[in-house]
Structure 1
Amino acid sequence: MIIWLIAGCFLFTIGIPAIAPVHQSTSWVFTSFNNSTGYDNVALVFFLGLLQSGWTLVGYDGGITLSENTKDADREGPRGILLCVIFAVIQGIALTIAVLFSIQDLDGLLNADLPVSEFFFQVTRNRALSTFFLVFLAVAQFGSLANASVANCRLMFAMARDGCLPYSKFFYKLEKGDVPLRIIVLQIILMIILILPVFGTMIYWTAVLSASVICCNVAYGMPLICRLLWSRHSMPKGPFDLGRWSVPINVIALLWIVFFGIILCFPSVSPVSADSMNYASLMIGTVFLFSVICWITTGHKTYKGPISNIDDDDDDLHS
């Protein structure tokens, strides 16, 4: 997948502009501002457009989920996060510039049912070639799905170990080959249930994206706020340390998370109707309500804090 993604990055940043019939001007790419939202406030329109970049700049914890299998993890884990962010920014800017220069008909893209397919067809003027680009993207998306599934399974298995999930004792089992098959099946079922409404309306998908970005950022911010409020002076330092920049960076990150979470709950167009409403806040509220009910009914009885499994017997996990 690493080779595939690197090849894809070069393919799209170099190949797409190379075969595009015409190119947009530099001034249009870097200075043009198109507002088709219905909002008059330019700043609000700009912030609403940050959803895509916000969705791209998540997954910092991807490397951390594998850190226990990494040599010198207390140093390489944080370095991996920094490299992940830096390369994501570089790659994102390169792809964005390549796409903007290659756009042939902006109105056609905005009105298309499948803008990505329309973009490739505008550039290539060839159905077979545009299909090739779509397949290349689909394989990359599958790799992203696999990566997210691995990270999510490890997280859910750890939650089952700590008694956080309903029926944790049932799910905290390993099958032959040390595979958490029950967690994997549970995750597949949940993903199918959550994705099915997309076939009915794309409004649901927009809400899923917004809610996902908000929840990811809130999860990233929880350790930061705990560190600032309760462990600012008592937290032990590891071999990787930000020094005097640690507290200012933590504060800036928390302010951004709060601000970004509010922006992502705004409807993307105006005037707002039932079809254009942003239901991300409703989704987050539902998840929060479900979590509170689980905590009141069973969670406070089964969850006693993170549990170390260093002394777990393999036979106990497989039974």
Structure 2
Amino acid sequence: MDDSKLEMAGDATKELPMAESQKSDSDLPSGRVSRTKPRLERYLGYLPMLAFAATTQASWESVGGSLGAVFMNGGPVALSYGMLLSFVGSLSLTLSMAEMASIHPVAGAQYHWTYEFAPIAPRFLSFLQGWITVIAWWANVAVGPYLVGTEVQGLLIQNYPSYVAENWHGTLLIFAVLFLPMLVNIFARRLLAPVEILAGVIHLLAYPAIMVVMIVLGQRHTSEFVWAKFVNDQSGWKNDGVTYSTNDLDHCLIPGFDGVIHMSEEVKDAPRAVPQAMVWGLTTNALLAYGFSIAVLYTMGDYQSAANSPTGYPIIEIFYAQTGSKAAASAMMLPMLLAGCYSSFNVLASVSRLTWAFARDEGFPFSEFFSHVSPRYKIPLRSLFLVTLITVLIALINIGSSAAFNAVLSLDTLALYASYLVPIFFILIKRIRTESIAWGPFTLGRWGIPINVFSLLYGTYILIFLPFPDAQPVTAEGMNYGAPVFGVALLFAVIDWFVRGRYKWQGPTVRWTPK
């Protein structure tokens, strides 16, 4: 597959048949009107995509921002050992999806693979998968700006004790962080590649600078503290297994492995470049994140002071304890703030392509409108505006209720993991049945079955404990609303299927084929 292309129903030059793997359901509507399907320009190479994958997850910066949950549930042991489990599990998921991305490197990703590999009801299952994936990523767009905003508020609390953080301050900061990525995505599409490389360089070079400061100035803890101290008296959970499992392992290596896949239709030699970017991006992030985690534990200073930081972020208190200077602590936080910003460039680009792809396949109401590609800017401009508008609306929720806002954000990780497991389960079935699969250049070979099985076990473990609240007793503010919000999203998708989808949705209209 050195030379490949995307075939689309209703190509601009001729009307192509449905994809050769098109499956039929009993409710398949009779007849279909083909229309011109928009395409995107391929201009991104491997290096920008590697940087894209690495900076979208921004793992070591994200670990610094998520220490609060880990310190409450499990403490040092949960971080030092949990990171290892998270890396192995995340790598198995990434390898499984990278293999499918090599077979079908298309923007629709999970819902496309579900359609291709589902043994039954491919139209229905891929339609639900499409909605779940899109809704999960819509929620994800707000996460990066929210973390940057609240970290800025934490620095204000540390530097100006009289400052009182308000929800509307956080909302305005979300808008500010979202504004520049939106402008760059619209007016400077060609700058996306150099911006990705620059962000990758910052991501790598800031790391040794932060590590040197921590190692040289930080107060030393013993190896017993790092590798044997288990905190089980902070969250209210009585069972040690539950305490450990609710330490938000997903934050050790945040999900989003599929972010780069949704850019596939703008990537040169996508069957090779995209899987390699996914795997090496995750591996690089994992090594950096683990080194950072161990360095933090050895040099963090007083545990309780960090865990109970009035800033809301233990890492801010840790940097202050290490340097003895509020200005220095603020400077050390700068790479983490930048990570949230350049991650937003990636996420906004990726989610707009995913939204566009689902609209192109008639998954949305008004699909023809949102599947439009701007001839001037060469991007799905209307889908980009839709994603931005949804993020603005989500951010506005924070003004009225932080609990409702967090409920929406909690959908992100839960729904993403669910979207990963479905196509992996289906391709595993095809493997076990030894059915024919047109493998791409990146394949797991004989390791496919064990890697797929382990990724399903790990993902199921994450899905079980993700909905658990961080602390007991459960309050309205502390409740984890991920499961009920996910249930509402799934119910919405089912209703839309019966009202509209079963008449409109015929599965993905693209297929990757050799020239």
AA partner of residue 78 (structure 1): P
Question: Is it true that 1:177 corresponds to 2:377 in the alignment?
Answer: yes
AA partner of residue 206 (structure 2): G
Q: 1:167 to 1:284 in 2, by over 3 A?
A: same
AA partner of residue 39 (structure 1): W
AA partner of residue 200 (structure 2): I
AA partner of residue 24 (structure 1): H
Which of residues 388, 393, 410 in structure 2 aligns to 1:193? 393
Which of residues 458, 470, 473 in structure 2 aligns to 1:256? 458
AA partner of residue 501 (structure 2): G
Where does the alignment leave 5 or more consecutive residues of structure 1 unmatched? 311-319
Say if 2:414 and 2:483, in contact at 8 Å, map to a contact too. Answer: no
Where does the alignment leave 5 or more consecutive residues of structure 2 unmatched? 1-198
Question: Is it true that 1:7 corresponds to 2:7 in the alignment?
Answer: no
Pairwise CA RMSD of aligned residues?
Answer: 2.3
The equivalences for 1:27-176 within 5 A come to: 27-35=224-232, 36-53=234-251, 56-113=253-310, 114-115=312-313, 116-175=315-374, 176=376
Matched position secondary structure for 2:436: coil
Cα shift at 1:284: 0.6
AA partner of residue 295 (structure 2): A
Q: 1:212 to 1:30 in 2, by over 3 A?
A: same
Match of 1:276 in 2: 478
Cα shift at 1:147: 0.9
CA distance in 1, matches of 2:358, 2:346: 19
AA partner of residue 414 (structure 2): I
List per-residue Cα deviations over 1:34-91 (Å, max 9, x = no partner).
121111211111111143445x242222332333444443233322222122112211
Which of residues 412, 417, 428 in structure 2 aligns to 1:212? 412
Q: 1:49 to 1:122 in 2, by over 3 A?
A: same
Q: 1:128 to 1:199 in 2, by over 3 A?
A: farther
List per-residue Cα deviations over 1:107-132 (Å, max 9, x = no partner).
12222232233232222221221222
List per-residue Cα deviations over 1:257-287 (Å, max 9, x = no partner).
2221011111111222333221111111121
CA distance in 2, matches of 1:33, 1:220: 31
Matched position secondary structure for 2:258: helix
Q: 1:9 to 1:204 in 2, by over 3 A?
A: farther
Match of 2:424 in 1: 224
Say if 1:57 and 1:85, in contact at 8 Å, map to a contact too. Answer: no
Match of 2:154 in 1: none
Bigger Cα displacement from structure 2, 195-204 vs 109-118: 195-204
Cα shift at 1:3: 1.0
Q: 1:156 to 1:278 in 2, by over 3 A?
A: same
Q: 1:8 to 1:32 in 2, by over 3 A?
A: same
Q: 1:138 to 1:193 in 2, by over 3 A?
A: same
Which of residues 486, 491, 508 in structure 2 aligns to 1:289? 491
Q: 1:309 to 1:44 in 2, by over 3 A?
A: closer
Say if 1:62 and 1:151, in contact at 8 Å, map to a contact too. Answer: yes
Cα shift at 1:201: 5.8
Which segments of structure 1 move beyond 6 Å, counting only runs of 4 or more? none
Bigger Cα displacement from structure 2, 27-36 vs 65-74: 65-74
Cα shift at 1:4: 0.9
List per-residue Cα deviations over 1:268-313 (Å, max 9, x = no partner).
1122233322111111112112222222222222221111399xxx
State TM-score, norm by structure 1: 0.87
Name the % identity: 28
List per-residue Cα deviations over 1:185-238 (Å, max 9, x = no partner).
111111122234445666556655543122111111121122133564222222
Q: 1:69 to 1:218 in 2, by over 3 A?
A: same
Question: Is it true that 1:298 corresponds to 2:504 in the alignment?
Answer: no
CA distance in 1, matches of 2:400, 2:329: 26
Say if 1:12 and 1:98, in contact at 8 Å, map to a contact too. Answer: no
Match of 1:316 in 2: none
Say if 1:57 and 1:88, in contact at 8 Å, map to a contact too. Answer: no
CA distance in 1, matches of 2:223, 2:260: 37
Say if 2:394 and 2:405, in contact at 8 Å, map to a contact too. Answer: no
